Structure 1
Amino acid sequence: MQYDVIVIGGSYAGMAAALQLLRAHRSVLVIDAGLRRNRFASHSHGFLGQDGVDPAEIVQSARQQLGAYPTLTWVEGVAEAASGEKDSFIVATDDVARHQGRRLLFAAGVSDTLPAIEGLAERWGVSVFLCPYCHGYELKQGRIGVIATGPMSLHQAQLLPEWGEVTFFINDAVTLDAPMRDDLAARGVTIEETPIARLDDHADVILAGGRRLSFAGIFTASRNAPATPIAKGLGCALAETPMGIQIQTDDTKETTVPGAFACGDAARVPHSISLAVGDGAWAGAQLHRSLVWA
């Protein structure tokens, strides 16, 4: 069969978009690989009505609510390629199936490229974080480390004193001029020039030479890219952001390929569940309008 919309990615943005379409009696296929970006976190914060809830519970509840709509088809699998054009797209999945849709929505999120520091990846989402609004409060204004990865790290170091006492690890990743140093000093930020050897225990930083600094939590700026290259393979333009690469869209969330849309972390910055849900809801409404006035 041909679906009205094929949604690639069944996390927060994809489900929010699908909900708008299902409520408009449209047939929707969601293809989901089950790899939520926040799968490493035990609690979600800053999402109105769901503050402190396990992200897996939020997703499960949303999935059950979508399942009440008879025009939903859900496929657990990996979308591997997309081809075609407006009103006649084809998405191939890892089970060799080929699905037809009038519209496409890319909502598969992003991948995070983390600093190549021993012990960091294992602590991602547990004691090493990206967003202070999502994880800062739980650190109880304790000691916070910020590991530089590039220009965005300076912004993190300037902002995080709102949540605790900050040490900024340059780690040979950023150059600070005199005004930057003066600003950090005015905010009470300690600048640490010694490179990092590894992370240890809950959130301990071991410096080259063996010195150990302990923190309540650590923040760092990962570099993002769409979690799947399918949009690029279809011909959608990509855009550079301070956080990495995202899918380029217009105000209606349509990509540079007519009939193909994108939303969520892969198509906007900054990132959070709240923003992903809002972006998905907007994309779903715009997709519906594109079908009405095709």
Structure 2
Amino acid sequence: MQLQLISFVLIILHCMDYTGCQQHSSSRHRPNKQISGVSSGCQQGGCLTCSDYNGCLSCKPRFFMHLERIGMKQIGVCMTSCPPGFYDTRSRERNTCTKCRLECDSCFNKNFCTHCRAGFYLHLGKCQENCPEGLVRSDTERECVPRCPAECEVCVNSETCTRCRPGLYQLSGRCHHVCPEDYEPSDILMECTPQVHCEVGEWSEWSPCSRSGKTCGFKRGQETRTRQLIQSPSPFGNPCPGMSETKECLVKRRKCPDLFGFLNSKTAFSAPSKQGIA
């Protein structure tokens, strides 16, 4: 009787051991399930621990845990930075990506938006449908901006204008009927532009004393000096001074060489004689 009981126990233990080995073998050879958008296993990306069904369960240091919704379930993904619409939260336990408020397109934290969704306007880190008194909605920037001054057509704020109303000239964010000193109006740009004054170079040396193009045969003549233009003036800039000067000069009177007699003698010397032509 005892021998039969011992044999029965050994058979049961053998069967349990065999079943366990089969389960271990089947689980070891079972392929991992692939999840769309998540790398399989923990070998890639920033995953520290993971599961086949839920993706990343924890991340490596400096990575942020972000939950992506796929159908009816959420998959954990480890990222180096949070995607738009989320802000990062750091703690000793783990770093996570937290969704911004519904009206925020992007945010710094849950209480400070940096850009608003359509239909909301940013003011002091808050996205709101209506702007406070004294501010107007800007659909391009999705922000509450100050009303422009009366003389301004487009402005950055109540003190900085970028385009003035017709007939006014813009300068340093202000609109002017008359441009300030050292500035002049530009009807093309509708701005006050700096005046440009004429600049000239140094005087040249005086020319030799001459009269009617000759430098001899007179006692009183003239000599001249000039200078070069360096910078032309703008329409309202200081005009250029004279570019040349002439003054009278005296020379010791001397006769010019008798060029006519010299030419006659040269012609007579070079002309062939009539006797040689015969």
Normalised-by-shorter TM-score class: under 0.3
Q: Compute the TM-score of the two structures, normalised by the length of structure 2.
A: 0.17
Q: Relative to total residues, which structure has the larger helix share, 1 or 2? A: 1
- Structure with the bigger RCO (C-alpha within 8 Å, sep 6+) is 1
TM-score by length of 1: 0.16
Q: Give the greater-gyration-radius structure (CA).
A: 2
**Larger proportion of strand:** 2
